[in-house]
Structure 1
Amino acid sequence: MATVNYTCPNCAAPLKFNPDKQMFSCEYCMSDFTEKYVQDFFAKKEQKENSAEKQEKKEQEKAKENAAKQAQSNDSAQAENKTEEEAVIYNCPSCGAQVVTTASTAATTCFYCQNPVVLGGRLSGEFKPDRVIPFKLSKQKAIDKFLEMCKRKWFLPKNFVSEKHFDKLTGVYFPYWYVDEQRSAQMVAKGEKVRSWTVGDDRYTETKVFELHRAGNLIVNNVFERALKGQDRDMLQCVHPYDLGEAHPFAMSYLSGFQAEKRDIEQNEVAQAVQTRINGYCQQLMKDTASGYSAVQIQNYNDKIDLENWNYTLLPVWVVTYKYRGKILPFAVNGQTGKTYGELPTSAGKLLAFAAIIAAALMALGLLGGLLFL
């Protein structure tokens, strides 16, 4: 597996993207480098690794074809090949250790030497993202946001907010599809205006019905859908939205020091769901143009897509999980805005202690009230 290891041009130590400075920093010689400098400096290296990845991929495909021909009549051998495809072995360019990753992992950290490694070929060719939103929050700032979420939560387990827990906070780029559309639309609707008045003891209601015609161009931007199977949908959806105005054209160097996932959901798999959502947005936009009516009911609506643009985008998220009473609780912090999400655990012991205090207080008040009436 071809890999890219971004090292400091001055001292050859690991180079990581620094969210606080929005530059690439070396923790050893304290050097900082601009985005342009790093991308230009490593451009030839990335091209070389991508070429090696393509050649390796061709050889693997050829080997798989030969293996498939030999194992057509052997179902157990086919099952074994499937298992091997789900796990991938690569060699760390820093220490040479072999590390196993899932097939969708595009950037990670070597378990042995802790150096950041980007698996260049995972995000090349058709899998290369169109853009990336770099991390804007450092790990410490993400921890601060997490602490804010935990403030005044009296019933958290005693060891929940701990330094050991925060050490597991990981910055991950998750893949998403974003869709922009422009449509020409026409709508025929029924609008009602209702007014009521009272004369003496009598109450009158007048309902006027109008036929409404609307036509125009509609623009819907940034409709998103996940591009990775198996992720916690609620966790990641709830840390949206992101400011796409801060998105950059994709460069693998942004992944250095973080983990990243490659998409395994294709555009055609989510196209229908995206179109259903956009249809709803467009009809609502047309209804909103009919103001001043008590009710508007669409009777006929049609549109056509004039322009459509899909963007494969990587979004920054700080994630950590917490195991409590056999249940895995995921937590996420938006790596750009700091918006947090998570289901905080509740300590049964603290709840019982609180209930006992309340019961004792109520009993004391009851006894005091009884003494006052003696």
Structure 2
Amino acid sequence: MTASDHRFPCDQCGADLRYSPDAGQLVCDHCGHREPVEDDARRTETLVELDYQATLDAMLPESEIEEIRQTRCTNCGAEFEMDEATHAAECPFCATPVVTGTGLRRRIKPRGVLPFALSEAEAHKAMTDWLGRLWFAPNGLKDYARKGRRMEGIYVPYWTFDADTTTNYRGQRGTVYYETRRVTRNGKTETVRVQRTSWRSVSGRVARVFDDVLVLASKSLPKRYTYALEPWDLSLLQPYQPQFLAGFRSEGYTIDLEDGLIEARKIMEQVIRRDAKFDIGGDRQRVDWLETRISTLTFKHVLLPVWLAAYRYRGKTYRFVVNGRNGRVQGERPWSAWKIAFAVGLVLAVVGGLAAGIGYLSALQQ
């Protein structure tokens, strides 16, 4: 596939169609013509997982690979698609001017896509409402965001991993008991109960089947932003079709499959450690050692929808992201120096007024 496969001409007038979150269809902004995205065969298609080891061994079928025309931002490192008619633009992640590249990149084709459910207007309102609740944000930035350019719809890349795991563990089971002691306080002797824990070494095995462990495959946005957009309802993933990308940009993955698995295993270990503690039982638990074996490991490359705004205000870039499904907002929290100074001054004035009032009342009483 090339970037041109994400452009779909209108059957009525020839203009480019775009995917409309409101209509759930391809819409022509020029003549109003609409076309459905899915046919009956694709609607019932199952999102098949790919074998992890076969992919590392370069045994992935050619049908699972695509070629894309991708542009790399020299400032933040983001890689995103630009159509063939666009030669210069701004990076949607940091607002840095970029010039389109000429090369094609081969990558694992997305298996699934979660289509946009929020329109640009709805996402923009969610962002400005969020900014409006930040009292210490600069008014100039709020106005700029409210009246500024449209937000960018970006499909952000993720990996999902499925795994069957078996884990051997060693740890300790703690049993709480109480001892009675006599202590002296303020010249008085009294009896108190003191809590103690008796520890006993244990070992065992736990099993866990993981389904759709989600890992961000991009370095463009801080994880604290993307994590704050969760949860994503992956049960609504659709089989990948380029029509869903019409009118939007798609970011290429910059975290490869092997590094994605490293992150996924960290997530799995947290769950496995919790399972081991539950298996240890007792009043308290310690896990000293874990050894996990993965018998089956598969993955998918999926695209999730994010509305993104990057504004340069007084020499600094502010980025805001909106979950394209539920409207959850996250971003860099802007601060207004004069608002903070005003608030501090107001607090000091109130405290000073209270102190003066107390002093006056004390003088009257004397």
Q: TM-score, normalised by structure 1?
A: 0.70
Alignment match of 1:348 (pick from 329, 337, 342): 337
Alignment match of 1:176 (pick from 158, 167, 175): 158
Q: Does 1:305 align with 2:284?
A: no
Larger proportion of helix: 1
Alignment match of 1:266 (pick from 256, 260, 276): 256
Secondary structure at the counterpart of residue 340 of structure 2: helix
> What number of residue pairs does the alignment pair up?
312
Rate the CA distance shift 1:305–1:367 in 2: closer, same or farther, 3 A.
closer
- Aligned ranges 1:296-335 → 2 under 5 Å: 296-335=285-324
Question: Counterpart of 2:226?
Answer: 236
Alignment match of 1:253 (pick from 232, 243, 246): 243
Amino acid at match of 1:167: R
Q: Does 1:127 align with 2:114?
A: no
Question: Counterpart of 1:161?
Answer: 142
Q: Does 1:218 align with 2:199?
A: no
Q: Which runs of 4+ in 1 moved over 6 A?
A: 86-90
CA contact (8 A) 1:87 1:101 kept: no
Once the two structures are TM-superposed, the CA of residue 314 in structure 1 deviates from its matched residue by: 0.9
Once the two structures are TM-superposed, the CA of residue 327 in structure 1 deviates from its matched residue by: 2.4
Supply the distance in 2 between the matched residues of 1:255 and 1:238 (Cα, whole angstroms).
Answer: 24
Which consecutive unaligned segments of at least 5 residues does structure 1 have? 41-49, 58-85, 93-97, 106-110, 112-118
Identity value in percent:
24
Higher RCO by CA contacts (8 Å cutoff, separation 6 or greater): 2
Supply the distance in 1 between the matched residues of 2:344 and 2:13 (Cα, whole angstroms).
Answer: 60
Question: Counterpart of 2:87?
Answer: 99
Secondary structure at the counterpart of residue 176 of structure 1: strand
CA contact (8 A) 1:88 1:101 kept: no
The superposition leaves residues 226-280 of structure 1 with CA deviations (integer Å, 9 ceiling, x where unpaired) of: 3234443333233223111111111111111111112233212333343344234
CA contact (8 A) 1:191 1:296 kept: yes
Rate the CA distance shift 1:188–1:345 in 2: closer, same or farther, 3 A.
closer
Supply the distance in 2 between the matched residues of 1:283 and 1:259 (Cα, whole angstroms).
Answer: 39
Supply the distance in 1 between the matched residues of 2:215 and 2:343 (Cα, whole angstroms).
Answer: 43
CA contact (8 A) 1:39 1:253 kept: no
Once the two structures are TM-superposed, the CA of residue 294 in structure 1 deviates from its matched residue by: 2.7
Rate the CA distance shift 1:205–1:139 in 2: closer, same or farther, 3 A.
closer
The superposition leaves residues 20-50 of structure 1 with CA deviations (integer Å, 9 ceiling, x where unpaired) of: 232222233333332225999xxxxxxxxx9
Rate the CA distance shift 1:26–1:211 in 2: closer, same or farther, 3 A.
same
Rate the CA distance shift 1:297–1:155 in 2: closer, same or farther, 3 A.
closer
- Aligned ranges 1:108-119 → 2 under 5 Å: none
Supply the distance in 2 between the matched residues of 1:140 and 1:32 (Cα, whole angstroms).
Answer: 20
Question: Counterpart of 2:56?
Answer: none
The superposition leaves residues 119-157 of structure 1 with CA deviations (integer Å, 9 ceiling, x where unpaired) of: 9x76xx743111111111111221222133224422221
Once the two structures are TM-superposed, the CA of residue 170 in structure 1 deviates from its matched residue by: 1.0
CA contact (8 A) 1:137 1:335 kept: yes
Q: How large is the Cα RMSD of the aligned pairs?
A: 3.7
Rate the CA distance shift 1:205–1:173 in 2: closer, same or farther, 3 A.
closer
